[in-house]
Every structure is written in C-alpha cells, then in structure tokens.
Chain A
Amino acid sequence: MPIDMSDKTILKIEDLHLNFPIYQGAVHAINGVSLYVDEGEIVGIVGESGSAKSVTAMAALRLLPKGSFRLTNGNITMLGHDILKISEAEMNSLRGNQVAMIFQEPQTALNPTKTIGKQMFKVIQLHTGKKRKEARNLALCLLQDMRINDAEEILQRYPFELSGGMRQRILIGLAFACSPRLLVADEPTTALDVTVQRQVLQLMRAKARKTSTAILFISHDLALVSQFCDRIYVMYAGSIVEEGPTKLVLSAPAHPYTQALVRALPESSTKGQRLESIPGTVPKLTIKQEACSFRERCDHAHDLCVKIPSLVMSGVKTQKAACWLLEKVR
C-alpha cells in the first residue's frame, strides 16, 4: 500500500460538496468544505446542530450508507489514499488500523450482550492478528492507560454494569488499540458529566500526545474546544466560515457568526443583562445556497453578500474567515 510517510498531512478534504437526495430534491449538507489535519495535531470542528460537522467526519471515513448520498465535487485524501476511489477492503483495513472513531453515546457503541473483554479481544485480534493471550495483555495495558484500576475484573463485566465515563474510557482505550494515526471523536463527552468529561479528555489528550496521534474533535461546546484543540474550524450550514488557531479564533473571531456565537454564551455577559442571541434560524438546506448562508441573520449584511464568500486571511497569522467584510477591508 502506498503510504507516504514523509507527508505530514494525515487527512485532507478539498472543496467537498455532498448532498442527500430526498423526494423533494436534495438536502445540501456539505457545501464546499476544505480542511486538513496534520500529524499529532488536535483539530476541532465546532458548529450548531445541522451544520454538517458529523457528516463531514463520516464522509471522510466513508461511513455514510452507500446510495444515500451524492458527492458532487471534492477530494478526500487520507494517509496518501484517495478515499473516494479505493475499494471497500482497502477502506476496511484503513479504518481501525490507521484511523479510529469514537462516537457520542458509549452505551450504543458497545454490544450489550457480550462482556467488555470479549469485545475488546475480538477487535484487537481482528486488526492486529494477535493471539488471544497477547490480545488480552494488550487490552489490560490499554485499560490501565485509561486509568481503570481493576482492569482484570472490568474485562469480565457487561457494558450495563459500568458507568458512562467508564464505558467511554474503554472505547477510547480500544480506539488506541492499533495505535492509529488519526482519531475521529464525534462529541465524545456530550453524554458525560463535567467532572467525568474532564477526566476523559485529559486521558485522551495525554494518550494522543504520547503516541503522536492526530485527533479530529467534533463538538458544539466552544468552551470545551477552547481547552482541548490546537486549531479549529467553525462550521455553519454545511460550510466552514472560519478557521485558525483556537485561541485566536475564540478570542478575536473574524466572522460575524463566530462573533455572535461567542457573545451568546452566558459567561460572556454580566448577570442580569440580556444575552445577545442570534436572530432567526439556520437556512433550509434543501435549497442550494447561492449567497452567504449567514446573510439573513447577520448584522453586517450588505449587497456583496448575495454571492458566496471564500475563506480569506483575516490578517492575523493563519486565521481565515469566509466573509465579504474581510475582502472589503483589503
């Protein structure tokens, strides 16, 4: 297999356009998304529900059901493979070995009728070809890395006997079983409490840094992303509106949407004051966007906004935003 090890880019998506055909036409879910993840980097995708955060990740791993979607444009390259061209067998060997995914709900990701041990051994044996005993040792090792104290005993338990935080830790441990080079985490802590959330994230980050695994972290929680990620992409209605280093994007957002989002957080207003909300709702995705998708909710909308803006440098370092305001400044 042609794996280009010299290339530091693990995942690269270029101008992806994807829609889901429905009876009335199509839902234009992804409208021109370009992103990349470098080796060992933690990259966040933030956005509200319906902004196609998860669909982008699913498309990158080719997890969307066949025939349910139409890819009208774009390229996805992962570890030197063209994801859209390679066969299902090649894709399968990529998933699990090189790329792992963690889902939101740890309850549904584990089989309720099998013990944790059985599930872990099966995955490890399938992907590494290890014998059962070696697989067991590796499983124990992974669980201990995730700070699970009585790992031996946990292997014999069923998922329902464990708490949500414990289950998620097991899944993260399992995701690292084949030392993947990219980990896609789709809202991994949304179902967990804040205390557990912090622990899970700490473990995930420590493990990723140790093995120099890149993480593509999908979340709707700005505060969480601000602590966890090196670089973020802000998505709105199926396109990326802003990208850049986390600190920069969240402290000095360039796009009106990101600005409004940060202002709408309860912690950015003083008590008793009204929160600044974004008027209106997300545009219907059944209609193909020919204008800036945020135009109708934007305070700064002007006549240029009837055309789709492209990502341009905001002037500060590597921060980019898709807004006509920035073009005007230049």
Chain B
Amino acid sequence: MNEPVIELCEVELKFPVGADWRGRPKAYAHALNGLNLRIENGETIGVVGESGCGKSTLAMILLGLVQPTNGKVMRQVESASAMQIVFQDPQSSLNTRMPIWRIITEPIFARTKRSKHQLRTKAAELAKKVGLRPEVLDRFPHEFSGGQRQRIAIARALSSDPKIIVLDEPTSALDISVQAQILNLLDDLKQQQGLTYIFISHDISVIRHMCDRVVVMYLGQIVEIGRCEAVLDNPRHPYTKLLLESVPKMQQAGDLDASLENTELPSNRNLPLGCFFQERCSLADEACSQLQTMQDGVRCNKFSK
C-alpha cells in the first residue's frame, strides 16, 4: 500500500442555520457525518453522489478552507501550496480583469516574491504544458472558449507545483468533445508529474474512465468505497445501485418505463436515526434502525459479513 497523503478521521462538519435573539444557532445543517478516508499518493480517487451529499464540502475540508467540527484531518504535505483546486465553471473562477499570465501565476505571486519576468516565463512554461499557445498570455479570459478557460484554470492549479489537485466537477460545464480533450490533458499531467487527483463528479462515466478508487457519498457519509471497477460494476450498497441504474446509458434503451422510486433526499437538519438511506431503500427492515457502520467497504448490514 502506498503512503497516505491525506487521512480523514471521523470528520464531522455542521453549519449553524439561523439564530435566535441571543445569536445562538437555531439548528444545524449536518454537512459531513463521520467521514473516514485515506487518500494515497499518486492515486485518482473519485467522489460521486447527489447534490447536497457533501461532495464539495469534502473538497473544502481537504483543502483546509473550513475546519471540521469534530475529527481530524492529517496531511502529509509540507505546505498549503502543495494542494490546489480546479473549479467547475471556468467562466466565474477566472478573474475577468486579469491577463492570462497573471491568472496563471496568481498562486505563486501570492506566496513568493518573484519578478515580473520570472512570472511570465513560468506562465509561458505552464501554458505550453496545458496546450495553450504562448501568444495568448496577454489576452483576457473572455477571449477564450470554455475548454480553453478550463485549460487556464488547470495551468493555474499547476503553478505552485502541487502534489494533490482537487477537481471539483472540472468538465461539467463543457461539451462532450471538449470534455474528452480536458480529460486527456488531466491524464497526461498526472503521468508526467505524479499527481494525486481527487475527482469530484456526478458523471459516472467520467469517474469510471479516470479513477482508481471511488467513494460514494450519501448525506455526508461514505456509503461505499472501493476499486472503481468493483464498485461500479458490482455495486453492493442499495444507494450505489440506485445511482448507477439512474445514469442514462447509450447501449440500453427504454428502461424509463421501470418503476418510480422516491427521490427526495432527506433533510440534513435532523439526521435520520439508524441507516440514513432506509426511507428510500427497498431492502429496509428492523436491522436498519440501527446506525450503520462501515464494514468491508460498504455501510449496509445486508452486505457486510
């Protein structure tokens, strides 16, 4: 087994919601509820789940942008600049008033003192790496297409020589043909620099293509974790099954006539007692009123030994 680069230990995070007249929070939104995760050096780990399941909060915890309410985050990287993030929408994550070379070098500009000439050389080098021509360095983000903007965002993430890059839905805003270009680029960069990716996406086919391991999240918990092929080809947790069945696939048509499931995500204000998924689960019985523990990579009493 490889060295872990980040380890999460029973991480919980809740946000206060509303306040009474004395400023005390009325309720809490439970974003993450006991997360254990070990991210190894050089792997690509995928995170899937519905919106509101805590995928992006997990990214914030990993980057240290928020501190967990409970639990520990252990990072085996020297400095904060060893971690970077690429956001979903390159339209809003790039400063519209900065030329490209400034955007790309912003992470090093903020941390180290370098001359303009040094920054420009660095920017040119990074631009070449992500497949942008050097003459574009003086242009502004609005002059680029979505795919090129995402290349700029990736170049920016690479500028501080990170070990770990969190990719938060990097291709959701892109067209299929461009998505393929960006995924290939990410693959190449990983091979060249030995990066560790944390790939957050709701697109199962992208996760399947890119990732070594996959984490399935539901209501702030990991419900299933394992090798990508194992989890996606033979899902064990009922939620993973539901999620995979819902994904439209090219090859098989017409399963839209199947029965309808309850698709409402329970509120995260008051956490359900027992198994979080029991309301939507077809296998639910008495054993599910107990809090489920993670065993053998699945959080379900029906499938762990």
Contacts and interface: CB of A to CB of B under 8 A. Distances in A.
Interface of A: 48-49, 147, 163-166, 193-199, 201-203, 205-206, 220-224, 226-228, 246-247, 250, 260-262, 264-269, 271, 274-278, 281
A40 B209 CA distance: 37
B258 A194 contact: no
Contact of B258 (A48, A202, A221, A264): A202
Nearest to A193: B50
Contacts of A193: 50-51, 202, 263
Contacts of B256: 198, 201-202, 205, 227-228
A266 B183 contact: yes
A194 B179 CA distance: 19
A147 to B, nearest CB: 6
Contact of A165 (B177, B205, B208, B263): B263
Interface of B: 50-51, 145-147, 175-181, 183-184, 187, 202-206, 208-210, 228-229, 242-243, 245-250, 252-258, 260-261, 263-265
Contacts of B210: 266
A260 to B, nearest CB: 7
A281 B228 CA distance: 32
B187 A274 contact: yes
Contacts of B202: 193-194
A197 B181 CA distance: 27
Contacts of B246: 194-195, 197-198
A260 B263 CA distance: 34
Nearest to B210: A266
Given A164-B51, A266-B183, A274-B187, 12 more contacts: A193-B50, A193-B202, A194-B246, A194-B247, A220-B176, A224-B248, A260-B177, A261-B177, A266-B210, A267-B209, A277-B181, A278-B177
A222 B263 contact: no
Nearest to B172: A190
B178 A277 contact: yes
Contact of B175 (A48, A147, A196, A226): A48
A165 B261 CA distance: 13
Given A220-B175, A227-B256, A277-B181, A267 B205 contact: yes
A308 to B, nearest CB: 21
Nearest to A220: B175
23 contacts: A193-B51, A194-B202, A195-B50, A195-B243, A195-B246, A196-B263, A197-B246, A221-B248, A223-B249, A226-B250, A227-B254, A246-B253, A247-B253, A260-B177, A261-B177, A264-B176, A265-B205, A266-B206, A266-B209, A267-B208, A267-B249, A274-B187, A278-B177
B248 A264 contact: no
